[in-house]
Amino acid sequence: MTATTTPPSGNGNGSRPGGRSAKVRAAVHRAVQEVVAEGSPDVLTIPVVAARAGVHATTVYRRWRSVGELLADVATSRFTGDIVVPDTGSLRGDLERYAFDLAKDLGDPDTLALVRATIGTGGEQGAAACRGEREQGLEAILGRERARGEQPPTLEHTADAVLAPLYYRAVFTDLPLTAEWTRTLVSRLLSPGPVQQQAS
Amino acid sequence: MTATTTPPSGNGNGSRPGGRSAKVRAAVHRAVQEVVAEGSPDVLTIPVVAARAGVHATTVYRRWRSVGELLADVATSRFTGDIVVPDTGSLRGDLERYAFDLAKDLGDPDTLALVRATIGTGGEQGAAACRGEREQGLEAILGRERARGEQPPTLEHTADAVLAPLYYRAVFTDLPLTAEWTRTLVSRLLSPGPVQQQAS
């Protein structure tokens, strides 16, 4: 339960590691997440965020320039590096764990609100931030399967079959992301029979 | 190439059909679509929309209350009733046509900008508006297949396999929605072998 690790001091360029700059960033990010979680993306403006974070609006404008850039930055922090799927020993096990974890994450109302707000104003940069490293996570799982000497589906196919329904259902519908449904997504991907071989 | 049909005049409740109210709504909707298409959802506020539409901001506030409600209304108009898939005679043909048409629609930059902006501030109402009648369109296609005496996939499975990847790819990635890829989505849904029957 220690605070964020502080890098060694005295980096010689005059900035203070773990100092004011990092504190401002943390306060602004927290303010954005609070306003978004309160369910009013309409009122998410830089003056509102600055007031909530206790900093001058000009400080926020200088660093992020627009609400869209700010949201993309918050989403990047939030969605990068947070998914590591342990090696369960099988492709099915890995994908089921991956889908279950992603469903849990996207099923969190605050996370979903951040994704929606970022999509709304963050443009391509925001969209990329919301994907985060999800596809790299899938690629790591598929790479492990290849290392086992197997031939897994392509990344494109896996993203279409597992990643896309999770995001679509979370963002565009009010259907629940149940554990049973996430297993069904994986099962549909891995269990179809070899139709092409029936003609041979 | 006629203008919008004007309903019979004299409805007896004091409003003027095809009159000021309808003109205001059309002007406001057009203003929203223009501002969104210009790529600056950040500046989409009710005063900006009202000025662009040439009406008082109070008129807009009275009718829509928030940018989120306004976007949801515009998206509802835009995405309702615009997809009718002609009966091609087969489930595969119908689904390929459906996926191709949806890819073309979501591939339009102005449409995509409206979807993203609406997701950003429209809440559940906005999300529902962006789905529009897409699922009803799928259900109609599946119903036709059942009427042919066949057993098509469920609506849930079809939405996961065809609808979700189209929305995910359009909204969250910069990958193109190619015609070949839309056919692949349909093919993956319809071509897997009857795995469950192999055990019998």
At B74-124, the pLDDT tens digits run 998 888 865 678 899 999 999 999 999 999 999 999 999 999 999 988 778
Do both B84 and B29 map to the same domain? no
Token pair for B104: 């073309």
Q: What is the mean pLDDT of residues B161-176?
A: 95
Q: Is the dihedral of CA A94, A99, A100, A104 positive or negative?
A: positive
Do both B48 and B106 map to the same domain? no
CATH number at residue B128: 1.10.357.10
User: Is B196 a residue whose pLDDT tops 50?
Assistant: no
Do both A51 and A89 map to the same domain? no
Least confident of A166-170, B11-15, B184-188: B11-15
Token pair for A186: 């994986």
Interface test with B, best of A35, A36, A42 (most B CBs within 10 A): A42
Is B161–A39 a contact, with Cβ atoms under 8 angstroms apart? no
Q: What is the C-alpha to C-alpha distance for residues A95 and A73, in angstroms, rounded to an integer?
A: 28
Cβ within 8 Å of B, A 127-146: 127-128, 130-131
Do both B27 and B113 map to the same domain? no
**Of A8, A43, A65, which one is at a domain's C-terminal end?**
A65
Whether A75 contacts A114, CB under 8 Å: yes
- B69 interfaces chain A, CB cutoff of 8 Å: no
Do both B52 and B110 map to the same domain? no
For A77-92, how does the pLDDT look when each residue is reduced to its tens digit (9 = 90+)? 888 865 678 899 999 9
Do both B87 and B181 map to the same domain? yes
Terminus-to-terminus CA distance in chain A, angstroms?
Answer: 61
Predicted pLDDT of residue B195: 36
Predicted pLDDT of residue A7: 44
User: Is B198 a residue whose pLDDT tops 60?
Assistant: no
Do both B38 and B124 map to the same domain? no
Do both B135 and B39 map to the same domain? no
For B119-150, how does the pLDDT look when each residue is reduced to its tens digit (9 = 90+)? 988 778 888 888 888 889 999 999 999 999 99
Tell me if B5 is assigned to some domain. no
* Nearest Cα residue in chain B from A38: B123
Do both B99 and B130 map to the same domain? yes
For B11-40, how does the pLDDT look when each residue is reduced to its tens digit (9 = 90+)? 444 455 568 888 999 999 999 999 988 877
Phi-psi region of B81 (alpha: psi -120 to 50; beta: other; left: phi over 0): left
Do both A57 and A29 map to the same domain? yes
Distance from CA of B67 to the nearest CA of A (A): 7
* Nearest Cα to Cα of residue A39 among A112, A124, A122: A112
Do both A54 and A83 map to the same domain? no
The one-letter code for the residue type at A149 is G
The domain containing residue A141 runs over which residues?
79-190
Do both A89 and A53 map to the same domain? no
Interface test with A, best of B136, B172, B180 (most A CBs within 10 A): B172
Predicted pLDDT of residue A83: 62
* Total number of domains constituting chain A: 2
Tell me if B119 is assigned to some domain. yes
Least confident of A3-12, A179-188, B25-34, B65-74: A3-12
Is B123–A39 a contact, with Cβ atoms under 8 angstroms apart? yes
Q: What is the C-alpha to C-alpha distance for residues B165 and B182, in angstroms, rounded to an integer?
A: 9
Predicted pLDDT of residue A47: 92
* Nearest Cα residue in chain A from B169: A164
User: Is A168 a residue whose pLDDT tops 60?
Assistant: yes
Whether A117 contacts A71, CB under 8 Å: yes
Q: What is the mean pLDDT of residues B60-79?
A: 90
Least confident of A152-166, A169-183, B73-87: B73-87
Q: What is the mean pLDDT of residues A9-18?
A: 48
Predicted pLDDT of residue B125: 84
Provide the pLDDT confidence category of residue A44 given band limits of 50, 70 and 90.
confident
Predicted pLDDT of residue A11: 41
Prediction pTM value: 0.83
Q: What is the C-alpha to C-alpha distance for residues A39 and A35, in angstroms, rounded to an integer?
A: 7
CATH number at residue B26: 1.10.10.60
Tell me if A169 is assigned to some domain. yes
ipTM above 0.90, yes or no: no
Is B165–A169 a contact, with Cβ atoms under 8 angstroms apart? no
Tell me if B3 is assigned to some domain. no
User: Is B185 a residue whose pLDDT tops 60?
Assistant: yes
Tell me if A126 is assigned to some domain. yes
Predicted pLDDT of residue B11: 40
